[in-house]
């Protein structure tokens, strides 16, 4: 397995770009997988991931297109409105 790390920019943020080349043998055949990860330097948040097979064909991609690292919340965002007829049971009072 080979591993490489460089510093880049993604979504106008500084990131670490990790590249990994891994070889596996399955049913007598060698398979090579190339994985690339772009991780935000400040938060450690995964912003992008690509996986390519030994032919260079992309088999998977995950890409964040927009993210708010400084959201604002108010008390109502954490209010739970239970449907009619549902009873809330505190876990410390729950019987096994």
Is the model's pLDDT at 95 over the cut of 80?
no
pLDDT score recorded for residue 54: 82
The 10 Å CB-count burial string (b at 16+, else e) for 42-72 is: eeeeebbbbbbeeeeeeeeeeeeeeeeeeee
Joined tokens for residue 73 = 């919340």
Residue found by looking up tokens 């690292």 in the block: 69
Q: Output the pTM of the full model.
A: 0.69
pLDDT tens, 5-17? 999 999 999 999 9
Distance from C-alpha of 17 to C-alpha of 1, rounded to nearest angstrom: 17
Joined tokens for residue 79 = 């209010």
Band of pLDDT at residue 96, cut at 50, 70 and 90: low
Mean pLDDT estimate for the chain: 91
pLDDT score recorded for residue 92: 74
pLDDT tens, 37-50? 999 999 999 999 99
């Amino acid at each position: 397995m080979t591993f490489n790390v460089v510093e880049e920019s993604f979504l106008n943020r500084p990131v670490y770009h990790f590249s990994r080349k891994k070889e596996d043998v399955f049913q007598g055949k060698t398979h090579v997988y190339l994985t690339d990860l772009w991780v935000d330097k400040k938060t450690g948040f995964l912003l992008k991931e690509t996986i390519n097979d030994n032919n260079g064909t992309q088999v998977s991609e995950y890409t964040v297109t927009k993210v708010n690292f400084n959201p604002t919340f108010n008390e109502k965002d954490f209010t739970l409105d239970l449907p009619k007829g549902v009873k809330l049971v505190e876990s410390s009072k729950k019987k096994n």
